[in-house]
Structure 1
Amino acid sequence: MVNEAKPALPHPLPGAIGLSHLSAYDWEAADGVCGGSPHLHLVCTEAYVVTGGRGAVQTLSPDGYRDIPLEAGSIAWFTPGTVHRMVQGGDLRITVLMQNSGLPEAGDAVFTFPPEVLADPEQYAAAATLPPGTGPETAAAAQRRRDLAVEGYLALREALVAGDDGPYLEFQRAAARIVREKVPTWRDLWRAGALATAERTGAQLDALADGEPAYLGEATAYEAAPTRLGGFGMCGRRDEYNLPGTTLPYRSE
């Protein structure tokens, strides 16, 4: 029997995070707002570190609808299950930090498409997947994907603001159904990334407690630069790193 290779993240970023840089889309949506594709993550907390410009992130969660202002120096983060929509207010630029390196790139995100799309796995996959590259065809597909996500999002927001959380809760359940078959792969990635990083810290603490810090002999430094500029992400144009568990730049979303 041949043993399948397990995921390995030999040089994870601090805390086994994922990293990318975003410039929010400036396409105007049906409600007159410029910005990205609303979506949620199932098991990963996401953080926006604003490096320039201004805008907002709109969120839907059990505590209702929020519109959080973003400007240079501000940070916003949202836990699994929170629907979020990045809004462009003027040259908004953000560094995105993602929990659980590798999981977001392995499908830990579901768009707020209308219910009939969410109910059909093939239709959902077709709407969510972009052509490769960064040319006009990909840009047009990314805008169609954004518009479809906004269509579903506006219905969720309207109901939530009116005090009806039923559609929002049903969207969460639909999202869980869509990703369920990916969980075994996610578990392997989690073990190789975030869990392995935490366990490594535990082993280092044990070594320090024993007065035997031999692991410090493995100290070194790494460097990296973006390997693709202007890719089409969920929220905007994305600068990506070819680092395991970071943004895995050339796979389709």
Structure 2
Amino acid sequence: MKKLLIPLLSLPIIATFASNLVVNVNRWKSDEQNVREKINFIIGTDEDYPEISEEYLNSWIRIHDSAILGVNKSNAAIDDYFTYEYRNLYNKYKDVDYKGAKDNYGIPKFEVDNVFEAIYRSDEVQYQSAYTLKALYSEACINIIKGNFNILINPSSESVLWCFKYFNALCYFQWLKVWIYEVSTSVEIGLSIDFYTLPNYASVDENYEPIYQKGPNPAYKAPTPVTSLSSDLKPFIEKVYDLVFIKKGDLTKS
């Protein structure tokens, strides 16, 4: 998989390569029932998860590893979709003297923005969110078993979970790198899905540390997220958020 950054995991992302450049990044609602079925398959039900105990530590590690692979696959799909679309745009505009806002290779800004919009509304954003939640849940359970109650999930992932809870949205960043054969160079573009916006609206304590146990700071009106997640993810979001931020890993709390 190509170089990327996401504010997510405590374990290194395993490199993968997509076997097909043209990937299916269809718009959400294009086949809603199939998308919902896949989401529910990814996150599973309570019966699909083992007991949170030392006896099942290896099972939780396998669940976490599997979720990481799912995140990687989703990242690769987004990367490959953008690569395919950007190369098409390069070929479309390489001999055109476009007068409006454009990048260094002559591609209009609005065209690149349209590709980003397609990603925001894609099925892949839903799958990315489902795999991310599963990874965070299994990471928290592993740390509970190990007694690491002070850090249930990687601190850099806390804002991601908070955005899931209070904005029903994905907070995500990935570097998209496209090789342009005709000029033997690469273009690197950052895909930010509310990465630099939504987390800034968390309330803060006296040390200006974010308070993720509470909702957005009521003193400010947060922007509308660019993504909107399936309602099928909502119960799982609530479960993971409560385990991490409310119960803080205390399984005796109801």
TM-score, structure 2 as length reference: 0.25
Instruction: Give the strand-richer structure, 1 or 2.
Output: 1
Q: Which has the higher helix share?
A: 2
Higher relative contact order (CA 8 A, sep 6+): 1
